[in-house]
Structure 1
Amino acid sequence: MKIAYLLSAPVLAVSLAVSLCMTSVQAKTPDDQLIVGMSMNNLLSLDPAAATGNDVTEINVNLYDTLVELDPANTSKLLPGLAERWTVSPDGKSITFNIRKGVKFQSGNVLTAEDAAWSLQRVLKINLALASSWKAYGFTAQNVEKQIRATDPNTLVIDLPEPTDPKLVLYTLGSSVSAIILDKKKVLENEKNGDLGAAWLTTNAAGSGPFILNEWRAKDVLLMTRFDGYWRGPAKLRRVIMRHMTESQSLRLMIDRGDIDVATGMSVPDIEAMKTNPNVAVQAVKRGNVYYVAMSVKDPRFADKRVRQAIRDLIDYDGINKTVMPNYGLYHQRPVQMGLPATLPDPGYKLNVPAAKKLLTEAGFPNGFKTTIRVLSDAPFINIATNLQATLSLGGIEASVVSGTGNQVYGAMRDRNFEIIVGRGGGGAEPHPHSSLRSLVYNPDNADAAKLTNFQGWRTSFISPEINALIEKAEVETDEKKQLAMYQEVQKLYDTQVGAIIPVSQMVDTVVLTKNVKGYVGHPSATTRLREVSKAK
């Protein structure tokens, strides 16, 4: 189906131009347009309070602005955004932002601190997935208007409801799509039945960013055009077109022919083939998430530390990272993402069948046992699972691989109804140890009734009061050296206690670009901004 059949009249000419480009082997996309091939399967809503996943983040940071940004070259460095500057109170309990004057939304409305306060409050009031980070800091729908407020048109104050490291909050403001600033007046003009504009924002935008949303057709195409009134100055590109493409070979063919400028989601063989193409560049973007093998401690077998350690000894880390993970991940065995000062060197786990058999015998399973591995049917997850299935069999464990959709796999994990899962997770977006540990390790209440589904540690039923207490203490420690030592001690304890989530590799997102694309810098937190991207003529 051609794009032109699905677009409205104002964008018909653009769509026809793109379609015509695809008829020539020597095709070349327009110099002032960026054509992106990507999967939109997980793009369900554009509402910043409801949207999850890297794809929607990369779209929304080009339609909207945030108070601060994370430097893509050094994500620990905060850069000004809508906030020209900010100060943290001496006691670490309050952050004050000076909002830049003269910024206008794409509607023409003036952006003020009230828009910023309302946008952040709205996330808690709607209370969907994106509220999780804020609730972890102690914000609630009931207290958020008091804790986050505009004291004048250019001053925003965030008072922290609970003790935490204010850097964590700043990193969330720079990395989470929930921190996007909305045009309050425009959104409320489209409110229905008190939904705070949720229905309208599913397919529309009300931002101040460098690009204006023209049209989005689910699982088809998304079109953005340059906002000439952007406060930083107009973007270098006039238009960005994102096309839904899921077949790796199609992406490879189209970028090879010049029909698209950027391709994401390509398979490893096609990426490797592209590396030999002189007309393209391959950019690997390191993310903070990790690929892991997880066990349910609700299962009596995996409640035994010796069995968990045996599983850890039956993972072929070297083989997986050499044969399965190129262009998907980098060798990593710690629950804290690599590259942070607090991250310890890898503990050096190796496939060790004799050690695993000895542990299984001591645990009462000299002949192993039967189990299941739940996993997504997509690469590299399914490939990790089949590799794991083979090495588990060396220790006498007969594992059946059960593949499915995200809801089937992670839904079972959220319900604590699984045995082994191959998955991917971790805070990751914020360059802070607490982000990863909160997601993968921390479990403040192990009761089923607690339903702490956002904590993957809770999903596994693994709980360590000692580790929990140390994570909580480190979060509020103001002495950086002491805090660093605490986070390192958490990793050592997790190693000796054999946590239920075993990291195998840290996520890499590989993007393929035509050589004439200039200034494209993939961001580790998925906040890839296109305002400085251009194309050589």
Structure 2
Amino acid sequence: MKIKWTLRTLCLSLLLATALPTTVGAKTPNDQLIVGMNMNNLLSLDPAAMTGNDAVSIIVNLYDSLVELDPTNLSNVLPGAAKSWEISEDGKLITFHLQEGAKFHSGNPLTAEDFAWSMKRLLNLNMAQATTWKSYGFTADNVEKMIRATDPLTIEIELPKPTDPKLVIYSLATLGSGSILDRATVMQHEKNGDWGNGWLTTNEAGSGPFKLDVWQAKDVLRMSRNDDYWRDDAKVKRVIFRHMTESQALRLMIEKGDIDIATGMSVPDINALKSDPQIVIDDVSKGTIYYVAMSLKEPHFANPKVREAVRSLIDYDGINKTIMPGYGLYHQRPIQKGMSATLPDPGYKLDVARAKTLLAEAGYPDGFTTTLRVLADPPFINIATSVQSTLAQAGINAKIMSGTGNQVYGAMRDRQFDMLVGRGGGGVDPHPHSSLRSIAYNPDNSDAAKLTNFQGWRTSFYDQQLNELIDQALVEKDQEKQKQMYIEVQNRYDALYPAILPISQMVDSVVVRKDIIDYIPHPSSTTHLRSVYKQR
């Protein structure tokens, strides 16, 4: 078996090497940046429809947003297509002033009307990325009134309901859904009222530092420098993203210098590279969490005693000690680590005896059978295997169903799952609401609401009092009172035996060749490549 595996790895590596624009063992071209990554979850390049961090990392280099967040200080908002902005005294109106002379890749001028139309399109399409904006009160019916261009270089965003305007600005910077689209170009490709969605799935209409050359799903995505960019031109001529799922192949390629940056590498391979003087490991702490989720549409999990039993059937200590090093840090709260409002971990542990008692009280003394969806990649599949084993100790027979992101998260977005091991949450914004909005908040539990970017909605977990507490905390201006309200939110969330059980907070290890300069991986995955270059 060892010989077969070695040959398989060698053949795969040689195949990948021949696909790259270099020879085996040669350095990548000085004017090109080669990134190896798993693109299984890259399903669409439409900013309104994209899901997952992989898409965001590409979108932000093809499109401009009004603002950006400083990767070294997330509370520091930086100019983007907007050179300045102000918030009204009552906090209900945000006014942005755009850069002069910015152009789309088509040559069309970038205007305030393009941004307003992009947001109108987002709300009318009502796809994944509309969810956050709907939570702020924007709808397809009111977006034209609330987000408006007062002249070609001025945008006003009037908040439909009370919220923290800083959070809206953070969302524009981190979500990718605030990307500014070239209205004229998109509508040239509109078919049957789809707002150009079909075309934008594999094309782009941005103004960013790079233009899309080609995207072949699960193979390669290539973008070239926009030589008419309104800022300084990008420092590399071309960026090539290669679909690479084998960690050993990624390791071999970056060791040889055939790729410059590698993401999604397994922890053992990352550890093996730490002694290489030509390699730098960037450990990026992110706000997203690894979790076990249950659907309350499934009758077993609609029972809170069953959810409490499942909470006692996870080996949190074992998972975090043996599986998560390099992937995540022990965490059991819905608000990310490091915030003043985040409570200490409650200390849930594996307790099979208690779980059996709870299942018997719920009417399942012999357990039951269910399914557990999970990505086939580590650490997800490893977590799922551990959870499957400990569930079985109390009689819950969970059949693992592994698959791609669309098969796993697609079923979750459609509310067609039983259990799931996943990763999600907001956490990219320096605000507790970012995490709660994604994990716990669910203002409308109807299927028709389609709040698909909220994990709470996906699980059908709904509590009116919890929603009201989250809403009230968001608009509380007294920081100490707001902190206490977020503490109350966390305590109520735990008391409800929630549908999403946090296990670990994400750590993303990015492997970079030492001669790559000014590559700063962003905690929100909005990593900008315009300033990256090679020093040789």
Give the structure-1-normalised TM-score.
Answer: 0.89
What amino acid is the match of 1:214? Answer: D
User: Which residue in 2 is equivalent to 1:494?
Assistant: 493
Moved more, 356-365 or 54-63: 356-365
Q: CA deviation at 1:470?
A: 0.7
Distance 1:313 1:203 in 2: 44
User: Which residue in 2 is equivalent to 1:41?
Assistant: 40
1:21 and 2:22 are equivalent in the alignment? yes
1:217 and 1:450, CA in 2 relative to 1: closer, same or farther beyond 3 A? Answer: closer
Q: CA deviation at 1:97?
A: 0.6
Distance 2:447 2:155 in 1: 39
Structure 1 SS opposite 2:402: strand
Equivalence map 1:278-427=2 (5 Å):
278-363=277-362, 365-427=364-426
> Does the CA contact (< 8 Å) of 2:128 and 2:451 recur in 1?
no
User: Which residue in 2 is equivalent to 1:107?
Assistant: 106
Structure 2 SS opposite 1:177: coil
Q: CA deviation at 1:475?
A: 2.3
Distance 1:369 1:88 in 2: 54
Gaps of 5+ in 1: 1-14
Structure 1 SS opposite 2:124: helix
1:473 and 2:476 are equivalent in the alignment? no
User: Which residue in 1 is equivalent to 2:173?
Assistant: 174
1:371 and 1:20, CA in 2 relative to 1: closer, same or farther beyond 3 A? Answer: closer
Identity of aligned residues (%): 64
Measured against aligned partners, the alpha-carbon deviations of 1:100-145 in whole angstroms (never above 9, x if no partner) come to 2232333333322222222222222333222222222222222211
1:361 and 1:144, CA in 2 relative to 1: closer, same or farther beyond 3 A? Answer: closer
> Does the CA contact (< 8 Å) of 2:131 and 2:452 recur in 1?
no
Moved more, 519-528 or 272-281: 272-281
What amino acid is the match of 1:218? Answer: A
User: Which residue in 1 is equivalent to 2:5?
Assistant: none
Moved more, 289-298 or 302-311: 302-311
Gaps of 5+ in 2: 1-15
Q: CA deviation at 1:197?
A: 3.6
Give the structure-2-normalised TM-score.
Answer: 0.90
Distance 1:445 1:192 in 2: 31
User: Which residue in 2 is equivalent to 1:270?
Assistant: 269
Measured against aligned partners, the alpha-carbon deviations of 1:410-441 in whole angstroms (never above 9, x if no partner) come to 44444545443222222233332222222221
> Does the CA contact (< 8 Å) of 2:123 and 2:143 recur in 1?
yes
Distance 1:462 1:239 in 2: 45
User: Which residue in 2 is equivalent to 1:214?
Assistant: 213
Structure 2 SS opposite 1:161: coil
Distance 2:361 2:192 in 1: 62
Q: CA deviation at 1:172?
A: 1.1
1:46 and 1:371, CA in 2 relative to 1: closer, same or farther beyond 3 A? Answer: closer
Measured against aligned partners, the alpha-carbon deviations of 1:154-178 in whole angstroms (never above 9, x if no partner) come to 2110111222221221111001221
Structure 2 SS opposite 1:503: strand
Structure 2 SS opposite 1:178: coil
Distance 1:247 1:32 in 2: 26
> Does the CA contact (< 8 Å) of 2:128 and 2:452 recur in 1?
no
Measured against aligned partners, the alpha-carbon deviations of 1:87-109 in whole angstroms (never above 9, x if no partner) come to 11122211101112232333333
User: Which residue in 1 is equivalent to 2:150?
Assistant: 151
Aligned residues: 521
Q: CA deviation at 1:29?
A: 1.0
Distance 1:415 1:116 in 2: 29
Distance 2:19 2:297 in 1: 54
Structure 1 SS opposite 2:208: coil
Distance 1:197 1:366 in 2: 54
Structure 2 SS opposite 1:179: coil
1:406 and 1:195, CA in 2 relative to 1: closer, same or farther beyond 3 A? Answer: closer
1:247 and 1:22, CA in 2 relative to 1: closer, same or farther beyond 3 A? Answer: farther
User: Which residue in 1 is equivalent to 2:67?
Assistant: 68
1:452 and 1:59, CA in 2 relative to 1: closer, same or farther beyond 3 A? Answer: closer
Structure 1 SS opposite 2:441: coil
Distance 2:108 2:303 in 1: 60
Moved more, 521-530 or 410-419: 410-419
Measured against aligned partners, the alpha-carbon deviations of 1:477-533 in whole angstroms (never above 9, x if no partner) come to 233322222112100111223212110012222211111111111111111001111
Provide the alpha-carbon RMSD of the alignment.
2.6
What amino acid is the match of 1:21? Answer: T
1:153 and 1:309, CA in 2 relative to 1: closer, same or farther beyond 3 A? Answer: same
User: Which residue in 2 is equivalent to 1:133?
Assistant: 132
Distance 1:16 1:290 in 2: 34
Structure 1 SS opposite 2:83: strand
